[in-house]
Amino acid sequence: MIRAAFVSDLHLKTMDERNSQTLLRFFRSWMTKEMDGDRPTHLFLVGDIFDLWIGAHDYFVRGFEPLVTALRELVASGVEVHFFEGNHDLYLRPFWDQVVGVQVHTDGECFDLGGVCVRVEHGDLINPDDKGYLFLRRFLRTRAMNWLGRNLPASVVRAIGERASSASRQYTSTAKGLHETEIRRFIRAHAERIARKSAIDAIITGHVHVVDDFTFEVNGRAVRSINLGSWFDQPRILVLNPDRSWSWLEMA
């Protein structure tokens, strides 16, 4: 039986924030549910969980130690945890994969979740017309930038990253002034492009901070596109239930 949770775009800065404590309570409650027989099987962190996390620097590991510990315990309990790199959390594999045991993805992936084929991606490829961002995305993923992100002193990475993170957050939140209707058009067009290329039942995205839930048809197949939005307005987690239904958990 599959029970999977999906969350993105929390942009956590410190453990003192309300949203950090809310996420921590959710991780711990899922471990409690497992003991009660309501076993969670998958957790998908769909990018920009942190407002800044680069490489395996101790600054980030120490700053979010309770969340790191909770995720270690989820992995140890048998929950399959997947972390998708966003535009605020980069070069994750050396720590999250190799140390914690979380599976790290730099691009979208498809998963068979109890017979439901779900594609998961951060969502920063939704707008194909945004040439500036697409160039920056490719540049940040070059070998040279990867090496610098992993090997520069933490203080330097933090200073550069916080400035870039602030600019990126403002850019994403305003989406260059696009109306929410226009953003949803990009989300849905992207989902339809993906669905025409692969036989998926659902596509889960984030990045643009707009909640959208849309069902469309491709070649006689119903496909559901869900954009997770952000936690700036309302903390929420998407759940795929054992009966293959979808539901939202509104977090207090």
* Tens-place pLDDT, residues 104-137: 999 999 999 999 999 999 988 776 666 555 545 5
Domain count, the chain: 1
pTM assigned to the model = 0.86
CATH classification of the domain holding 93: 3.60.21.10
* Tens-place pLDDT, residues 70-82: 999 999 999 999 9
pLDDT value of position 176: 45
Which residue range is the domain that position 37 belongs to? 4-250
Strands 89-90 and 246-250: unpaired
Contacts of 23 (CB under 8 A, 6+ apart): 7, 10, 12, 49, 67, 235
pLDDT value of position 72: 95
Task: Report the chain's terminal Cα–Cα distance, integer Å.
Answer: 27
Residues 148-160, mean pLDDT to the nearest whole number: 60
